[in-house]
Each structure stands twice: as structure tokens, then as C-alpha cells.
Amino acid sequence: MNRTLQEQLADRILIHLRPHLKRRFEIKDLAKRFKAEISDFNTALRILNEWGYRFLQDKSKISFVSAPDILSATEIGHKLKTKFIGKVIHSFNTVKSTNDTARQLAEKGATEGTIVTAEKQTLGKGRLGRSWHSPEKMGIYVSIVLRPKFSPDKAPGLSIMSALAVAETLNEHSPKKVQIKWPNDILINGRKVSGVLTELSAEKNKINHVIVGIGINVKQSQIDFPPNFRAAATSLTCETGNEVSRVELLKQLLFCFEKEYLRYKKGQLAKSLPRIRKWSSLLNREVALRWNGATVTGRAVDIDLSGSLIIESAGNRMTVSSGEVTVVKE
């Protein structure tokens, strides 16, 4: 049997054993079930071991003991509680950008809720041509394909809706303060732990697809971030001292995301706004807005139903749907 066939056998054995923690199976029966020689079966087990799976083996019996913290389709799909987000999973070790891969799949007809994950991105994207640092197996890099029926003008609010899902997921793990920095950053303790990049494909009044890309720093130490933004970045491990499982965190995020998305489809941010306001790092602060090369200062007073930021400046109210905002005075 060549390596590919052995890997396929490993996959089939895994799917069979994975749901039954510590249940003992006769090796002979399993080999027969998979029409494999005992030697091939043992090679497949070695492959699973290389992937990080642990089994307990006594002479004739074997049981599944533990799974690695990897973002594979098997691990993400195991006990995932969502109805449609993440029901189709494309998981990769390395891609340039999960958003780009998701867009290509969407263009070929990928259904709503399809997700793309990677252990590492070589060209992870931020907004406006910036990049997202994506070291291997330290973070979550996921893109979600959405095909909402609403009109394209309602798409921008999906960014802050996604940020809300991330903030609420991270809050479950962080004793320190989680905040949403409008429109797409999630902070812990004032430092950026996650970012959202939403990309829209639409024509006339119809959305073809929206790709929501989410990057979360989970296991990085401070030293793992490049010096140019090290002081402004953090990870869940840095802030909590705990090693949180990336795959469990991703499953919680997908569950939370689905709930928020269903609410959004019914009434945009109506149900989510109170919580977005609660988590916001900008509201009631003096802020500077950079937009189209100009800077405006004023007070951030609200976020509206469509996710726009309302800034009061010199007696005028401005509704801002995109831009860079920084706090100038607490």
C-alpha cells in the first residue's frame, strides 16, 4: 500500500474510532472491516500517531484516547453544534489566504456556511492591502462563505456582527476585558487579539457572496509577533496564561457566529446592538477618524442598525461606515 492509500486508511480508521472515547475494539475485527492486512493497519495507526492522535493498544485491542489540537475537518466537525455554518469544511495546512481560497470556492458554487481553515497563511490579508501575521498552529485562520438574500447595502454590518461573535466567544475564556474596536478589531486588555476582514461580491442589487475572514491569536507568546506591532498585539494565551484549544474555540465561534447571523438576517443589528455598544472601546470617547486622507476629531456617540459609527463633531452628527478610528482622549 502506498502512502496515500495508507493515509486514506488512517482517515477511515479515525472516523470509526474517533466518536468512541476509550471504547476497546478488536484489532482483528477492525482490519477485517477495512479489508486491510494487519501490517497496513499498524502503519495507518503510526500515521495517526504522527498526526497527533493517541490510542491505547494492548495485544489484541485498541481504543481512542486523545485528539490533537488541529484544525482538520474531522476535528472541527466532531460535535459541532451548528445547523449550517461549518457543515462543509475545507481545511488546509498552508494557504496564501483563507479568504482567497474561500472566494475561489464561492465562485465555483460553494454553499452558504462553507468554511475554509488553515494552520498557516503565507499571505494572510488585513484590510486596505495590509497583512495578517499567521504563524503555524498558533492562531485560528478561518473564512466563512455567506450568501445572504438581503441587498448589498446591508453587507457592511456583517463585520461588526462577526466581531461581536468573536468578542462573546473570547469573553468565555478571558478574565480580562474584551472589547470591540469599531469596525473590525477585537481587543483584550487594550491589545489586538483578533481581526475581521469582510469581502463582498455583488452585482446590481444582489449579493453573490460575502466572505467573512476571521483571524484570532490563540497560542502566540509576545515574542512571536513582529516588532512593528508587538506592543499592540496579544493572544489568548498571553492574556490568560492558559493554553486554550484552538479547535474548541473555533467550534464555539462558529456556533456563536451562526446565532448572530440568523439574527442579522431577520433584523440587521437590532438584537445585537445593545451588546455591541456594551463591548465597544470607542463609544463616549473623543476619537480621531482618518478617512480618505483627511482626519476628523469628535466624540463617538453611537453605532447604528447598519453598523455605522456616529461621531459628533462641532455640533454635527456624522455617520461613518468605514475608516480608521483611534481614541484621542479617554
Q: Is the peptide bond before 183 cis (omega within 30 degrees of 0)?
A: yes
CB of 237 to ligand BT5, least distance (A): 13
CB of 160 to ligand BT5, least distance (A): 13
Is 143 a binding residue for ligand BT5 by CB under 6 A? The answer is yes
Is 132 a binding residue for ligand BT5 by CB under 6 A? The answer is yes
Q: Which of 121, 159, 268, 322 binds ligand BT5 (CB under 6 A)?
A: 121
Q: Which of 12, 24, 176, 192 binds ligand BT5 (CB under 6 A)?
A: 192
Is 97 a binding residue for ligand BT5 by CB under 6 A? The answer is yes
Is 133 a binding residue for ligand BT5 by CB under 6 A? The answer is yes
Can you tell me the distance from the alpha carbon of 242 to that of 293, in angstroms, rounded to the nearest whole number? 41
Minimal CB distance residue for ligand BT5: 195
193 versus 207: smaller Cβ distance to ligand BT5:
193
CB of 144 to ligand BT5, least distance (A): 10
- Residues 262-281 contacting ligand BT5, CB under 6 A: none
Is 251 a binding residue for ligand BT5 by CB under 6 A? The answer is no
> Among residues 165, 261, 155, 255, which one has the least CA distance to residue 209?
155
Can you tell me the distance from the alpha carbon of 26 to that of 15, in angstroms, rounded to the nearest whole number? 16
252 membership: H or E segment, kind and range: helix 246-267
CB of 117 to ligand BT5, least distance (A): 9
Residues shown for the chain = 330
Is 117 a binding residue for ligand BT5 by CB under 6 A? The answer is no
Q: Which of 43, 72, 91, 98 binds ligand BT5 (CB under 6 A)?
A: 98
103 versus 154: smaller Cβ distance to ligand BT5:
103
Nine-digit cell string for 15? 472516523
Contacts of 130 (CB under 8 A, 6+ apart): none
The amino acid present at 147, given as its one-letter code, is R
- Residues 199-238 contacting ligand BT5, CB under 6 A: 213-215, 217, 229, 233
Three-state DSSP state, 200 = strand
Is 138 a binding residue for ligand BT5 by CB under 6 A? The answer is no
Sign of the dihedral through C-alpha 143, 145, 148, 151: positive
Nine-digit cell string for 45? 495507526
Can you tell me the distance from the alpha carbon of 52 to that of 122, in angstroms, rounded to the nearest whole number? 23
9 versus 212: smaller Cβ distance to ligand BT5:
212
DSSP letter string over 261-326? HHHHHHHTTTTTHHHHHHHBSSTTSEEEEEETTEEEEEEEEEE-TTSPEEEEETTEEEEESS-EEE
Size of the site for ligand BT5 (CB under 6 A): 27
Is 137 a binding residue for ligand BT5 by CB under 6 A? The answer is no
Q: Binding residues for ligand BT5, per CB under 6 A?
A: 97-99, 121, 124-128, 130, 132-133, 141-143, 184-185, 192, 195-197, 213-215, 217, 229, 233
